Amino acid sequence: MIRKFFRGLFKGLDGLRKVLHLLVLLLIFGFVIGGLSGSIPKLPDDAALVIRPEGEIVEQPSGDPFELALAEARGSGSGETTLRDLVDAITAARDDERIKTLVIDFDGMSGAGQPTLDEFARAVTRFRTSGKKVLATGLGFSRDTYYVAAHADEIYLDPQGLVVIEGYERFRNYYKSALDKLGVDVNVFRVGTYKSAVEPYIRDDMSPADREASQAFVNSLWDSYVAAVAKARGLKPEELRAYAETVAERVRDAKGNTAKVALEAKLVTALKTPLQIEERVIALSSKDEEKETYRSVGLKDYLRVVRAEDKIAKHPDTRVAVVVGSGEIVDGGSGGGIISGDATAELIRKARLDDDIKALVLRIDSPGGSVTASEQIYRELLAFKSTKRPVVVSMGDLAASGGYYISAPADEIWASPATITGSIGIFGLFPTAPRTFEKLGIGVDGVGTTPLSGELRIDRPVGPAAAMLLQSTIEHGYEEFLGKVVAGRKKTRDEVDAIAQGRVWSGRDALRLGLVDKLGSFDEAVASAAKRAGLKDGKYERDYLEPDKSFAQQLLSNLQIKAAVLMLRAFDAESLGGFALGGVAGIDAPTRAALAAARRDFGPIERSVLRFNRHALGNQLYAHCFCTPY
């Protein structure tokens, strides 16, 4: 009896110890997080909002959050800026009395698709309606950066700078000869005359059908670029075309003075050094006497301020949900830069089960991917529609193949004139390498029990029964795809088939063909969804749905990221024996430049190999479009 008493006592004390231990740990974590998290910055009055877009402008950040934080701590940055951050900041600043002018420095921006650039430019144009000035600055402007810069009030180019508008092109690497040398046969099963996604593995050049379709949509992109930029800059379209086509001759005649050529073509307002630009911004805002420059706030700090203020403000309970799908569509999966079938379907389901959500907007920027994952998302969209609430799709740079598959059930589809869409088709790949085995002197022989036995082995050619089975499956998948478009677009099967066949279309052509309903911005798509739901302006909240993180995941993520940032910032070149963390440790600038060039040149090959690895899986169908123009 006594023994049982003490056993119970000790068990109770042990339980109490565990609870107290947990409480202490939580208290410690709370102090650590509090110490690591920075305070909300103070926003100066009469300031300039300075935006320096970094790398590519994307719908969603890609990569692991921890690695992105490390890159930021090293000073190398993440290489991406989200479109939402840019638009939110510029929109808030338009009516913010503390912000007197907007300065956009384009030197760190690498580019984006034209629809993304158009969303950025629209935000700039709306800002100008406030009467505040927008200044665009840069050592040089490329095709993509100039698209946005053209919408500013004033464009200042460095006297040593240049403006290069190179137009659009579509070139790809082709691997048939390389695969032949390796003894690898790529067995392709597809439907669609224009379904060119598999061509890099079975050809050494572009097919006539792909050439026809590609030329059509790059011409369409170039036409829309010229029209938008010329209008924004007050030029005639033919003047902009002439500059792009004759810039080499003009620079030669100007003895290499590229900045002078851009100024004479009226592409820029003036040639100014950074110090002269600083003086101009001071005149438009105010001077920081302590720092001898203009008062300013950067993008990240400004967003922290306005988003914190927004959380405090009261908002209506009625909401329009926004689900962003950016990247390739994959089965399962999670993380940035992809559309996970599981995660995206779960977000749509979450919206369906929330009675305060009155409409759903699906923002798509995707070349497609897995048919299985696309079907998973498609079914969840149908379930949402069954609740009699509207679904509206807003297409970004790409909504092709699987990207169009998941758009098909929408009540309304919006696109940009330069959106790449369509590519309605299905394919499958099955690589075999019997010739490789022969070269190695390895024989293959045996017996089986059915016509399919041994026909899907990597060391034997695909047999006739397996080929018949796979091609029939692909054809069925194509008919299923057509059926979904027929149901969503209210067309006949033959009408859809005539504009499908894997062919890619620009948004403008897609409108003409009935693949999309309207051309316009993301904001217009959201407004249309609200109108369909019977909501009035100002009576609803825009709610971006993102995958939930557990308390433990958030706690661990915050601790890891913030601790890593502080640790890396605490060490300098001297404490690390001369190995600086500002770039790649121990590597000089020329070598870093060479590595960057290698990543740029071999990046497309690496991406093709990774895609081939994903697509060469058994029992998988793909609706994918390798249709990104550059």
The alpha carbon of residue 426 and the mean position of all alpha carbons in its chain are separated, in whole angstroms, by 23
Buried b (16+ CB within 10 A) or exposed e, 111-122: bbbbbbbbbbbb
3-state secondary structure of 424: coil
From edge to edge, which strands make up the β-sheet containing 47-51? 270-271, 154-163, 133-141, 99-105, 47-51, 296-298
Rounded Cα gap, residues 100 and 274, in angstroms: 19
Rounded Cα gap, residues 363 and 376, in angstroms: 17
Rounded Cα gap, residues 182 and 286, in angstroms: 66
Structure tokens at 512: 């003409």
DSSP 537-570: TTSSEEEE------HHHHHHHHHHHHHHHHHHHH
Structure tokens at 354: 């929330």
Structure tokens at 134: 């927008």
Q: Determine phi and psi for 40, rounding to 5 degrees.
A: -70, 125
**133, 195, 484, 562: which one is catalytic?**
195
Rounded Cα gap, residues 236 and 147, in angstroms: 15
**78, 286, 394, 401: which one is catalytic?**
401
Tokens 């990247």 map to which residue?
A: 327
155 in Cβ contact with 124 (< 8 Å)? no
Catalytic site residue 231? no
Side chain identity at 148, as an amino acid letter?
V
Could you give the dihedral angle defined by the CA atoms of residues 381, 386, 387 and 388, in that order, rounded to the nearest 10 degrees? Answer: 100
DSSP 112-170: --HHHHHHHHHHHHHHHTTT-EEEEEEEEE-HHHHHHHTTSSEEEEEEEEEE-------
100: enclosing H helix or E strand: strand 99-105
Catalytic site residue 401? yes
First to last CA, the chain: 83
Buried b (16+ CB within 10 A) or exposed e, 424-462: bbbbbbbbbbbeebeeeeeeeeeeeeeeeebbbbeebeb
From 377, 409, 402, select the one nearest 477 (Cα to Cα). 402
420 in Cβ contact with 398 (< 8 Å)? yes
Task: Give the residue numbers marked as catalytic.
Answer: 195, 401
